[in-house]
Chains A and B, each alone.
Chain A
Amino acid sequence: MSAHALTDSWTMTRRELARWGRQPVQLAVNLVFPVMLLLMFGYLIGGGRGVTGAYRDYLVPGMLALTMAFGLEGTMLAVTQDLNKGVIDRFRSMPMANGAVLVGRSAADMLQSAMALVVLIGVGAALGWRPGGGPAALLAAVGLLLLFRFAMLWIGIHLALVAGKPEMVQAVQILVWPVGFLSNALAVPGSMPGWLGTVVGWNPMSHTATAVRDLFGVPGTESGHAWAAILWPLALLAVFFPLAVRRFGRLSR
């Protein structure tokens, strides 16, 4: 069985890529959406209360982290659709490696998120944003962001398996926004009312955003969040990865 684990996972990943090929517009929308948010918050709404340096330098890392958080919706939606389309029954009735369905989903979602990061960073650079710290810092930042995305991915898979219904995806989509914005992605916690600042400080996404800002040398950034930006996602993974795998195995109950 495990002899096929790699081949099957690759086949399932290719399935997702083939779906992108079928729906290039959908893919493009997914990649452009974060850019739209960036432009909206950076130029139209114009926030940045309490930001020391240029808001843009503060905002771009925040948007990168926010994009990773919103990936949860996409994962949950895709898994829910698979579950409700019946195609998952065919996979489960075939002699394929058990986990390949989930591995394929993960690989495709991680790839799409990596592409979204590249697009965002590219647009940021085109607008004149210049991260400090050089290529090594950039790579480390992307690593932290993708680690956070990976945790969001398994939360998304777990929620999809628990909820199972498209209606539930909507509920989560609505909830993801406040959770995403209850972070330091767009504004400095110090500028918020005390309790809100505390919540925001606790949000795992805030640690990732802060660590990335630190790597990019954004002025006024607290340093020392790298550990939290590594440990939080790992802790979430330690909880949700086994839960999701167990849930998947329990589809036969």
Chain B
Amino acid sequence: MADPAITVEGAEKSYGGKKALDGLDLTVARGTVHGVLGPNGAGKTTLVRVLSTLLRPDAGRIEVAGHDVVREAYAVRLRIGLLGQHAALDEELGGRQNLELFGRLHHLGARGARARADELLERFGLADTGRKAVRQYSGGMRRRLDLAASLITEPEVLFLDEPTTGLDPRGRAEVWSSVRSLVGGGTTVLLTTQYLEEADQLADRISVVDAGRVVAEGTADELKAETGGDRIDVVLRNAGELGAAVALLPLTGVSVDADRRLLSAPVTDRMEALSGVVRALREAGIEAEDVALRRPTLDEVFLHLTGDDHRVKEAA
């Protein structure tokens, strides 16, 4: 790739003896949105902190906007914006005071900082928050202000660490639309999330991370195809018939949850699978409480990609 916005080769970082990044590789092209998808403890925040110069990696070559994050940290800081997992704001000050403070620290000057603060408050629908301290903001307002603060200088590369975790659907939609409008302006975005849907909505490409390394990478469609796309869930009335149903249903890769009397399997042709299952159950006289098609959850994509779904099947 010619002149990528982010290059990570063999990044390693340990806390005590525990490896948070374990040889992680990543390349992000300029002007694209890259999703980093992974469960709790996968190393997402550690990666973002290394990329944004907050944390020194133990090993690896890591460049952001063409500069090394360790040796040229200052040059990197000139070119990035950061929305951390937790709000990075002065809670005692008001929204405008926060943005002016960060503007001054970006050396926009007093007048420039004030103008920029006005602009951003307007753009993020925070213009009428008055003198309220950030402490008194709602979660959604705080997230928007935090995002505004990370955009003071229209960064070349923007890092968003779980930007919508803890927000209600409306807050989430607001953040999503803000991110979309940014990308139009040529900013490169690296976004971490635990939600497949979020990566799906926003990212051009996705890296699935587990235990500090990338276990799969591709577009959302590629990843979903790899996990078998949609799934079918069948809930039986009688748990005793689970074994018989597994043997007889026209499905492969079935996982069983006996407590919930549930069978689950990936499907390729949605309609054929649905009608096949319903017919087979009826013919065998097995009663089902529910039969439903659904998108795979992150767990399933994840279990599939890390090869753990075989273990699930054997256990069942």
Closest to B135 in A: A22
Residues of A within 8 A of B77 (CB): 93-95
A90, A95, A253: the one within 8 Å of B74 (CB): A95
Instruction: Say yes or no for B80: interface residue by CB 8 A criterion.
Output: yes
Cα–Cα distance between A95 and B53 once the two chains are bound (Å): 11
Render B57-97 as a binary contact track against A, CB cut-off 8 A, 1 for contact.
Answer: 00000000000000000100110101010111111111001
Given A87-B88, A95-B77, CB of A19 within 8 Å of CB of B82: no
Pick from B101-109, B258-266, B277-285 the stretch touching chain A: B101-109
Closest to A1 in B: B74
Closest to A251 in B: B54
Given A15-B90, A96-B105, A253-B56, CB of A89 within 8 Å of CB of B82: yes
Number of interface residues of A (CB under 8 A): 27
Give the interface SS of chain B, mostly helix, strand, loop or mixed.
loop
Number of interface residues of B (CB under 8 A): 31
Judging by beta carbons under 8 Å apart, are B74 and A252 in contact? no
Closest to A90 in B: B88
Given A1-B74, A93-B77, A94-B106, CB of A87 within 8 Å of CB of B89: yes
A4, A8, A90: the one within 8 Å of B89 (CB): A90
Render A145-189 as a binary contact track against B, CB cut-off 8 A, 1 for contact.
Answer: 000000000000000000000000000000000000000000000
Residues of B within 8 A of A18 (CB): 93, 97, 101
Instruction: Say yes or no for B133: interface residue by CB 8 A criterion.
Output: yes
B89, B93, B107, B149: the one within 8 Å of A19 (CB): B93
Residues of A within 8 A of B194 (CB): none
Residues of A within 8 A of B84 (CB): 86, 89-90
Residues of B within 8 A of A7 (CB): 104, 107
Render B173-186 as a binary contact track against A, CB cut-off 8 A, 1 for contact.
Answer: 00000000000000
Closest to A7 in B: B107
Judging by beta carbons under 8 Å apart, are B92 and A93 in contact? no
Residues of A within 8 A of B101 (CB): 11, 15, 18
Judging by beta carbons under 8 Å apart, are A90 and B93 in contact? no
A19, A86, A93: the one within 8 Å of B53 (CB): A93
Judging by beta carbons under 8 Å apart, are B91 and A85 in contact? yes
Instruction: Say yes or no for B248: interface residue by CB 8 A criterion.
Output: no
Closest to B75 in A: A95
26 contacts between A and B (CB under 8 A): A1-B74, A11-B105, A12-B105, A15-B101, A18-B101, A19-B90, A19-B92, A19-B93, A22-B92, A22-B93, A85-B88, A85-B89, A85-B90, A86-B88, A87-B90, A89-B88, A90-B102, A92-B54, A93-B52, A93-B77, A94-B77, A94-B102, A95-B77, A252-B54, A252-B56, A253-B56
Task: Other than A8-B105, A15-B93, A93-B77, give 14 A-B pairs with Cβ distance below 8 A.
Answer: A7-B107, A18-B93, A18-B101, A23-B92, A85-B89, A86-B89, A87-B89, A90-B82, A90-B89, A92-B54, A94-B105, A95-B106, A96-B105, A253-B56
